[in-house]
Amino acid sequence: MTAPLPLGSRSDSATAGRARDLGIDAARGLALVSMFVAHFAPGGGPGGVLDLSEYLTAPLFAFLIGWGAQLGRGRHGEVVAVLVRAAALIGIGLLLERSDAQIVVVLVWLGALTLLCLVLVRLPDLALLGIAVALYVLEPRLLTSTAAALRDWRFERLMAGETADGLYPRLLELAVAGPYYRLTSMLVVACLAIVLARHAGRLVTVASLAGCALVTAGMIGAQRAGTLDMAPYTGTPAVLTFEVVLVVAVVQAVRLAATWVPAAARPLADAGRITLTAYVVQILVAHQWVQDREPGFRDDSWGLMAAMIVGSLALGWLWPRLVRWEPWSRGPVEGIERGLARGITAGVDRVRR
């Protein structure tokens, strides 16, 4: 059965499911804005609304990876493109981790999730929902037990005069024990995203938006009333629930908005197509920002936040108008990645022929 045409698609043709989805690209742009707010905002803003970026950013990127994996399912060169994308995310992430930026680089987690989604998109809906529910239930317990085991392991290594770094702790943090990011929680939203992408019609979109928006508003109200205790990145059941309903509400709202007022969504969509470039620039700028500063200096700055947001929107608009040759028109880093994927795919096709 053919999947419904995603809301916000640029085309109404029968093959538009293969076209870029304006709403999803706009959601990627919003993820960039949320990321800059989370990394650089000195305060929570009016009513603490900017604090929501701490709950939204990483789950939103994970959700969009799942949705994008479903949109790309079955395309020519899909496997090569995914492998190159994952390798780029992981490789660039490992390099950026060497910087002095006061930012926990999330790219390695996103690269690993990209690889996993290559398998997940081939599973039926019930299997995906089963994985999401199982991880939703187990994630808080796994985090508590593995984080304690990792602390004990590191303590024993240090007491023995050995290094506490290595592949084992890194893989454990990547999967379940990271203090900020964990594949277990990312997989919950990625699985849900794949299912929602398969059923992207208006009824499901509006229903999921309404339901998740109501739960989100209720949880925010309960937290402000002091009856619900939540802190970002902690992986508690309440936090995981809030992240899931928040990200679904935001994505569906953006997709509907892109359908109603596409002109307003296009600036965000343009920025959303250069997310990897913008991420790299952000780390380099943050690295330079803290250079030669006194100990304890923080990179939190309204000016830096505004510069990153405006700069990303401007670059997203300007780049494809200056560089029209595919794949470089997608962005500087994206052009390298996509060009490599196309070259490998063409080579594989020649060998097969």
Mean pLDDT lowest among 158-162, 222-226, 268-272, 313-317: 158-162
For the segment 111-139, the average pLDDT, to the nearest whole number, is 96
State the average pLDDT over residues 33-55. 93
Distance CA(11)–CA(24), nearest Å, equals 14
Q: Confidence class of residue 9 from pLDDT cuts 50, 70 and 90?
A: very low
Q: Read off the pLDDT band of 164 (50, 70, 90).
A: low
The mean pLDDT of 195-208, rounded to a whole number, is 94
For the cut 50, the answer to whether the pLDDT of residue 15 exceeds it is: no
pLDDT digits (tens, 9 = 90+) for 217-259: 999 999 999 999 999 999 899 999 999 999 999 999 999 999 9
Q: What are phi and psi of 78, to 5 degrees?
A: -55, -50
Tell me the H-state helices in the chain. Answer: 22-40, 52-71, 78-96, 107-120, 125-159, 167-172, 183-198, 202-224, 237-260, 262-272, 275-289, 302-322, 332-352
What tens digit of pLDDT does each residue of 48-99 get? Answer: 899 999 999 999 999 999 999 999 998 888 999 999 999 999 999 999 999 9
Rg of the chain in Å (alpha carbons): 20
pLDDT digits 0-9 by tens, 295-344: 767 778 899 999 999 999 999 999 999 988 887 888 899 999 998 988 89
Residues 6+ apart with CB under 8 A from 201: 4
Pick the more confident residue, 244 or 145.
244
pLDDT recorded at residue 2: 35
Structure tokens at 319: 């780049």
Residue 96: per-residue pLDDT: 95
Is-above-0.85 flag for pTM? Answer: yes
- Quick one: what percent of the chain has pLDDT higher than 90? 65
pLDDT confidence of residue 346? 85
The rounded distance, in Å, linking the Cα atoms of 251 and 189 is 12
Q: Which residue has the higher pLDDT, 212 or 163?
A: 212
Is residue 14's pLDDT more than 80? no
Could you tell me the two tokens for 170?
């890194």
Using the predicted structure, report yes or no on whether residue 287 has a pLDDT greater than 50: yes
Between CA 282 and CA 321 the distance in angstroms is 22
Q: Tokens representing 280?
A: 């790299």
Report how far apart, in Å, the C-alpha atoms of 38 and of each of 31, 161, 194, 300, 328 are.
10, 37, 26, 9, 29
If one counts every other C-beta atom within 10 angstroms of the C-beta of residue 256, the result is 17
C-alpha span between 104 and 333 (Å, rounded)? 20
What is the mean pLDDT of the segment spanning 179-192? 95
